[in-house]
Chain A
Amino acid sequence: MSTLALSAPVSRRLRATGTILAILLAWEVAARLFVPGANPIIPPPTVLVTYLADHASILALAIRPTLIEASAGFVIGSLISVILAIIFVRWPTIEAALGNSVVLLHSLPMLAIIPLLVIWFGIGYTPKIIIAALATFFPVLNGAVRGLRSADRSMLELMHILDAHWLQTLVKVKIPASLPYIFAGLKIAAPQAVLGATVAEWIGSRAGLGSQILIALLNYDVPLLWACMVVCALMAAAGFCLIVLVEYLVIGRRAEPLPEQD
């Protein structure tokens, strides 16, 4: 293939970046033109950036609790998911019995659970960690179960011929095969955990990004609100990128890209 033509993924990423820049530019122009005033509903990006710079310390203070809650919830949720996935795959009867319960759990609206958690655990970190863990739980569980089952049948047959113990098969074949799927789940879960923690803070909290957002809302402080949301989005994106980095370190280029799933 010619070296002049950029490879498809690179050109796609360039196009995406270009699109984002174009959107930012359009936003800046449109905001200045159409939403005039000192405190517009939609501030231009430049104003936003300056606000962020000016209030960096306050925002940093607000980020800390949310970050802790989201990270703790993410780690706990992921660990439980993977262990549960291993159990499900090893003992399908358990999966058959509990599968629907997982769907049931998934149907509980967040707003229904949070007040209960707050009643039981107060407005400290615990409820938010639990919510973040729940938000992490489903994507990672899905990914892990799919991944563990994705091992090539002939590989499994080989392990059987070698009279391998199920634990060996698990560690040597199933888990490596499952890694791409687990990381796909983690990539979905990381932003979910951040947002779960943030939304949980709306409902009962003393500190953190979520409560900062509510404060901004109640005070009609538009720039603060935007700043918090931008920070929240950045946190979610950072979580995602972190997972991508870890995935690269763990799997590297060895895995084929996954077929598209949702």
Chain B
Amino acid sequence: MTDTSIRLEGVSKTFGIGTARVHAVEKVDLSIGRGEFVALIGPSGCGKSTVLRMLGDLEHPTTGSVTIEGVSPDQVRKKRMIGMVFQEANLLPWRTVTENIALPLEVAGPKGSIGARKIDDLLELVGLKDFRDALPWQLSGGMRQRVAIARALVLNPKVLLLDEPFGALDEITRNRLNLDLLKIWTEVGITAVLVTHSIAEAVMMSDRIFVMSPRPAKITTVIDVDLPRPRTAPMQRSQGFFDLVARTGEALYKPFETLAESA
């Protein structure tokens, strides 16, 4: 592991006040190295998205500290070093693909765009060169997410946050996009945090998997994914892959199984 890029220490998050309080995240500690690709996996509603959103300065921890390259997410955001991909692509419907990818450049202005990637390169990278002038309604769900990924990368951020980006897609498309994302990540060399509830996706994509418990989210297990890089499609049918999936599944379902047994 290279030097630490992201660190969460003792982070918890509670929403609401009084009797309507929701304890989303409880005492999470984790470190992510620069250039690492990690996955956060857990049951629905467990708070893993909340952890990711704290990294993106969309939520603030109730206790504990979140730092990216030693600096708070707030400041990192202001320096535009974070790229985020949501589950819904959220493209602006009246802008073409190119215009959508250009949005961060417009917002950051000429000063903020120093060191930005060229849009054409990004279009090539995500495989949408022939669609540069298409409108969102003309694209499939998978294509829209590619645009969202390109948009997240245009300002050359240090960290890429992905919140169940392929959750709304069918399995086959999702598989293909996973491989594409890996290819992009390898070329760009960025620290990536992926929230997912697909075990196969987590194993396929990441260097380490953080398994989280049902709400309130705690990290129960950390699984090292020792599959070689670059990852290829056939690896998904290897014994090593299945073992990792099994181990992750065991860690993931343990809380439920214990409950069932003791019932």
Contacts and interface: CB of A to CB of B under 8 A. Distances in A.
A5 interface: yes
A14 to B, nearest CB: 19
Nearest to A2: B19
Give chain A's interface residue range (CB within 8 Å of chain B): under 10
Interface string B242-254: 0000000000000
Contacts of A2: 18-20
Contacts of A5: 19-20
Interface in A1-36: 1-2, 4-5
Interface string A19-60: 000000000000000000000000000000000000000000
Instruction: Pick the 7 closest A-B CB pairs, nearest first.
Output: A2-B19, A2-B20, A4-B19, A5-B20, A1-B20, A2-B18, A5-B19
Give chain B's interface residue range (CB within 8 Å of chain A): under 10
Contacts of B19: 2, 4-5
Q: Is the interface of A mostly helix, strand, loop or mixed?
A: loop
Interface in B1-55: 18-20
A1 B20 CA distance: 7
A197 to B, nearest CB: 44
Nearest to B18: A2
A4 B19 CA distance: 9
A4 B17 CA distance: 13
Contacts of A1: 20
Nearest to A5: B20
Nearest to B19: A2
A2 B232 CA distance: 52
A4 B18 CA distance: 10
B34 to A, nearest CB: 44
A3 to B, nearest CB: 9
Nearest to A1: B20
A51 B19 CA distance: 50
Interface string A90-117: 0000000000000000000000000000
7 contacts: A1-B20, A2-B18, A2-B19, A2-B20, A4-B19, A5-B19, A5-B20
A259 B190 CA distance: 42
A100 B20 CA distance: 52
Interface in B193-223: none
A185 to B, nearest CB: 29
A260 to B, nearest CB: 19
Contacts of B20: 1-2, 5
Contacts of A4: 19
